Structure 1
Amino acid sequence: MAYVRNTLAHQDEKRCRTHRPEFLVLLGSSFVEPARLAVSTLGRLDAAVAGIGEQFDHAHIVRIAIAATYADRLAGCRAALEKVVEHGRAGGTITSAIEAFVLLGYDCAMTGEWDRVQPMTDEGLTLTRRYGYLLLGGLLQFQRAYVAAARGDEEIVNALTDEMTRWAAPNRVGLVLHYAAHAKTLTALGRGDFEAAYRHAAAVCTPTPFRATHPTPCG
């Protein structure tokens, strides 16, 4: 019987690998390990982004946008994400709407559209507090902290990161703690305090040598 169970489990695992949904393939390459794996699926990601406006499944739109984030394809998802936000405003799916706010806010922060980040995160944070989405709220707070750090507004960075760590630390929410340390690291770099920057970064990741890689441009 054990042999039969092991054989069936192996077949199920093989079937899962063979028939993985496309969005899982894209997330596993361009989001989870973009430096090593994204180049192998960029064509498929570009096709998914090109067709994202035809999607009616808001959860699927968000998944494709997440996959596009670290491959620098998020701009192509903006119109679809804004549609998800509008649907949420009209009483539609709240979770997808909040996730869309997170992705749009991240894109604005990374592309220098900093004046758009504040109103976008305001609306997103209102929803996270109303419905208890603390993790997504932490991501929105990071976007504010990132912009404040880039502008040299250390007081705002400290207030935001203190709020993030106040609930994330006792609950061991590592992702939010990493983002808080990221913002503090940027702030320290901005004022030329490299030792403090190193200390903040080392608090959430172990300093180790990079493995040898052969980077390939994403195009």
Structure 2
Amino acid sequence: MELLSEAIQKYAETHTSSENAVLRELHRQTHLKVLMPRMLSGHLQGRFLAMISQMLAPQRILEIGTYTGYSALCLAEGLQENGKLITIDKNEELEDFAKKFFAKAGLEKKIEMLIGNALEIIPTLQETWDLVFIDADKLNYAKYYEMVLPQVRKGGWIIADNVLWSGKVADTKFIDKDTEALRAFNELVQNDARVENLLLPLRDGLMIARKL
């Protein structure tokens, strides 16, 4: 189920700042060469992530779920001069693809891509995060959230993608594991006194939580 009509989506993109040339090429190459290109953040969400990052001017960003690197490039736009983004993905087949575009954007020194199980990698990272973006396997969203929240600075942000899951979370007839996991995650954040939160119905839904 599409949450926005194609006409509204197109109108919103037409009235949103354009992607840069590297992002446009990455978008095109992902659709040409990679399975499930719908996983790409895309123009509208990408500009939103870039704008959030630019407002925060973060020193340290963690991304869980790289895919082909589109969202990492958007998030990296707001990094401070000495800032760093660490992105984790389990699919080693996409590593060279993503890194090629990090280099094309001149961000290969600011973006570090780690391959492996995020649940095992995150505890090894001795960082304090200004911004965390979760866009990986839905069954582990709650685990990722609980794992990173103590490492997020006061006033720092966590953003989780796909929390509306094509509208399935609001329809009780869907009881598959991913949908149930996302419902549980949304309830977890909603009832968490450690954060204030906003579920934004942008694209497939973004849960935005600011640590108090």
Same fold flag (TM > 0.5): no
Q: Using CA pairs below 8 Å that are at least 6 residues apart, which structure has the higher relative contact order?
A: 2
Q: TM-score, normalised by structure 2?
A: 0.30
Rg bigger for which structure?
A: 1
